[in-house]
Amino acid sequence: MSDLKLALLQTTLAWHDRDANLAHFDSLLEQAAGADLIILPEMFTTGFSMDSAQLAEREEGPTTQWLKAQARQLNAVVTGSVIIRAADGTYRNRLLWAQPDGQVLHYDKRHLFRMAGEHQHYTAGEQQVTFTLKGWNIRPLVCYDLRFPVWSRDGQHTDLILYTANWPGARRLHWNRLLPARAIENLCYVAAVNRVGTDGKGFAYTGDSQVLDFQGEHLLSAGEADGVFTATLSKSDLMAYRERFPAYLDADAYTLTLLT
């Protein structure tokens, strides 16, 4: 059972400036060499913006090509969310999962943050997804998804839940309480990447990117620092804990119905 090395990139984002952000991440990614999975924040090319029509890239656009090149060069999966105009013409807050072999998978954010009007500018995702990497089952989610435990639920098959976010400092307490809950209730690791700095609308972000084990204990806590942070996850430790404490065997069966 292979361990999994993560690199979390917690940093500031240039407002509505893709080229500046990609150049910034170019330098940071050099510090992430050796990781299996490199995680960038939500909307890492623009900041958390509702200007979807002006900022959206087409599928297979410049950022997708950049991610492919980085994944190939670093021999790692590189992931983060981007504003995408999908083939059906809808705008999506889309997490892109770029693999070293050139394949790019994706997850569309399900829960759109209505307090910022995100639901008026983007179309919600329709399905949960699971990606595999080195024998690990990884479920990606985006920011506001964190508040919805039913969407996150699947502790028996998920080894790592991944959140990429632009979570403002005003709700820092919620971020730091909900993440351990997701780890404990799902008996799995959780990795969460947030940004720091202030965006173009004046909202401040305090980071708190972190990695938690299956008991909600911190393996990594970045605080408010700007930089690249790494942690290694043990699959054998995870499996041993689930064998000792198989709470998933008593989980309630349910059917998930998506609301439109």
DSSP string computed for 64-101: HHHHHHHHHHHTSEEEEEEEEE-TTS-EEEEEEEE-TT
Residue-wise pLDDT tens digits, 42-90: 999 999 999 999 999 999 999 999 999 999 999 999 999 999 999 999 9
CA angle, residues 220, 16, 211, in degrees to nearest 5: 10
Confidence of residue 217 (pLDDT cuts 50, 70, 90): very high
| Per-residue confidence (pLDDT) for residue 256, from 0 to 100 | 82
Catalytic residue, candidates 57, 68, 109, 118 = 109
What tokens appear for 223 in the block?
């605080």
Query: Going by CATH, does the domain composed of 4-250 fall within 3.60.110.10?
Result: yes
Confidence of residue 27 (pLDDT cuts 50, 70, 90): very high
With a cut of 70, say whether residue 155 has pLDDT above it. Answer: no
What tokens appear for 257 in the block?
């119905």
Catalytic residue, candidates 42, 57, 68, 118 = 42
Question: CA 96 to CA 49: how far, in whole Å?
Answer: 17
Strands, E assignment, 28-159? 37-39, 57-58, 77-85, 91-98, 104-108, 131-133, 136-142
Give the residue-averaged pLDDT of 132-155: 95
Listed as own residue / partner, the contacts of 250-255 with beta carbons closer than 8 Å and 24 or more positions apart are 251/153, 251/155, 251/156, 254/150
| Per-residue confidence (pLDDT) for residue 154, from 0 to 100 | 79
Task: Let me know if 188 is a catalytic residue.
Answer: no
Catalytic residue, candidates 57, 68, 118, 143 = 143
